[in-house]
Amino acid sequence: QKHDHKPLAKRWDNHMTPEALSRTGNSLKKAAKYLSQPGLISLGGGLPSSEYFPFNSLSLNVPVPPHFASPTAPSPQNPTTTSGTGTDTSSTPSSTDTTPTTTTLHAGKHDLTASHSLYDLATALNYAQGSGSAQLLRFATEHTERVHNPPYADWRTTLSVGSTSALDMLFRMLVRRGEAVLSEAYTFATAVETAAPLGVRVFGVGVDGEGMVAGALEGVLRDWGRQHGWEAVPRPKVLYTVPTGQNPTGATQGEGRRREIYEVARKYDLVVIEDEPYYFLQMEPYRGAGGAGAGQGQGRQQGRTAPLTHAEFLASLVPSLLSMDVDGRVVRLDSFSKVVSPGARVGWVTGSEQLVTAYMKHADVSTQSPSGVSQLVLWKLLDEYWGHAGFLDWLIFLRAEYTRRRDVMLRACERYLPREVVSWEPPMAGMFHWMRIDYPKHPSYPAKSIQELEEEIWLAGIEAGALVMRGSWFYADKTAPHDTMFFRATYAAVPADRLQEAIRRFGDALRVSFGLEV
Residues that bind ligand PMP (CB under 6 A): 46, 368
Do 270 and 238 contact (CB within 8 A), yes or no? yes
Q: Whole-number minimum distance, CB 45 to ligand PMP, in Å?
A: 9
The interface partner of residue 157, options being ligand PLP, ligand PMP, none and the CB cut-off 5 to 8 Å by kind, is: none
Give min distance, CB of 244 to ligand PLP, in A. 10
Contact 200, 17 (CB under 8 A): no
247 touches ligand PLP (CB under 6 A): yes
Residue 162's binding partner out of ligand PMP, ligand PLP, none, with CB under 5 to 8 Å set by partner kind: ligand PLP
Report yes or no: 310 and 392 within 8 Å, Cβ to Cβ.
yes
* Count of residues interacting with ligand PLP (CB under 6 A): 12
Q: How far is the CB of 26 from ligand PMP (least distance, A)?
A: 10
In the complex, residue closest to ligand PMP by CB: 46
CB of 375 to ligand PMP, least distance (A): 15
CA distance 427 to 74: 26
**By C-beta, is 117 or 282 nearer to ligand PLP?**
282
Provide, rounded to whole angstroms, the least separation between the CB of residue 46 and ligand PMP.
Answer: 5
Residues numbered 257 to 276 that lie near ligand PLP (CB under 6 A) are: 275
Q: Is 321 exposed, middle or buried (0-12, 13-18, 19+ CB in 10 A)?
A: buried
- To ligand PMP, the closest distance from the beta carbon of 369 in angstroms equals 10
Contact map string, positions 171 to 200, toward ligand PLP, x by CB under 6 A: -----------------x------------
CB of 352 to ligand PLP, least distance (A): 21
Q: How far is the CB of 17 from ligand PMP (least distance, A)?
A: 24
Backbone angles phi and psi of 159, in degrees to 5:
-75, 155
> What is the C-alpha separation between 390 and 447, in angstroms, rounded?
57
Q: For residue 267, what is the enclosing H or E element?
A: helix 255-267
Choices 157-165, 212-220, 295-303, 356-364; region in contact with ligand PLP by CB under 6 A: 157-165
Q: E-assigned strands of 336-446?
A: 347-352, 422-423, 432-437
Interface segment toward ligand PLP; rule CB under 6 A; list 18-26, 32-40, 161-169, 198-206? 161-169
490 binds ligand PLP (CB under 6 A): no
| CA neighbor of 340 nearest in space, from 130, 119, 139 | 139
* Least distance in angstroms from the C-beta of 237 to ligand PLP: 21
Q: Which of 333, 365, 330 is nearest to 347 (CA)?
A: 333
Shortest Å, Cβ 28 to ligand PMP: 8
Q: In this complex, which beta carbon is closest to ligand PLP, that of residue 64 or of residue 167?
A: 167
Long-range contact pairs involving 510-518 (C-beta distance under 8 Å, separation at least 24) = 510/417, 510/418, 510/421, 510/422, 510/437, 510/457, 510/460, 510/461, 511/418, 512/460, 513/442, 513/456, 513/457, 513/460, 514/418, 514/421, 514/441, 514/442, 514/443, 515/443, 516/418, 516/420, 516/421
Q: Which stretch binds ligand PLP (CB under 6 A): 49-57, 156-164, 310-318, 417-425?
A: 156-164
For residues 387 and 395, the answer to whether their CB atoms sit within 8 Å is: no
Contacts of 387 (CB under 8 A, 6+ apart): none
DSSP-based helix, strand, coil % in the chain, nearest 5: 35, 15, 50
Q: Is 324 helix (H, G, I), strand (E, B) or coil?
A: helix
- Rounded to the nearest angstrom, the gap between the alpha carbon of residue 366 and the centroid of all alpha carbons in its chain is 22
Q: Which does 367 bind (CB under 5 to 8 A by kind): ligand PLP, ligand PMP, none?
A: none
Of 135 and 164, CB closest to ligand PLP: 164
Report the C-alpha gap between 172 and 161 in whole angstroms: 16
Q: Which is nearer to ligand PMP, 28 or 315 (CB)?
A: 28
The whole-angstrom separation of Cα 333 and Cα 348 is: 6
Binding residues among 334-363 for ligand PLP as defined by CB under 6 A: 335, 337, 342, 347
Which listed residue (204, 277, 293, 372) binds ligand PLP by CB under 6 A?
Answer: 277
By beta-carbon proximity to ligand PMP, the closer residue of 132 and 243 is 132
Q: Which of 169, 136, 135 is nearest to 356 (CA)?
A: 169
DSSP code at position 413: H
CB-nearer residue toward ligand PMP: 125 or 431: 125
Candidates 63, 132, 150, 162; binder of ligand PLP (CB under 6 A) is 162
Contact of residue 46 among ligand PLP, ligand PMP, none (CB under 5-8 Å per partner type): ligand PMP
**Which residues contact ligand PLP (rule: CB under 6 A)?**
162-164, 188, 242, 247, 275, 277, 335, 337, 342, 347
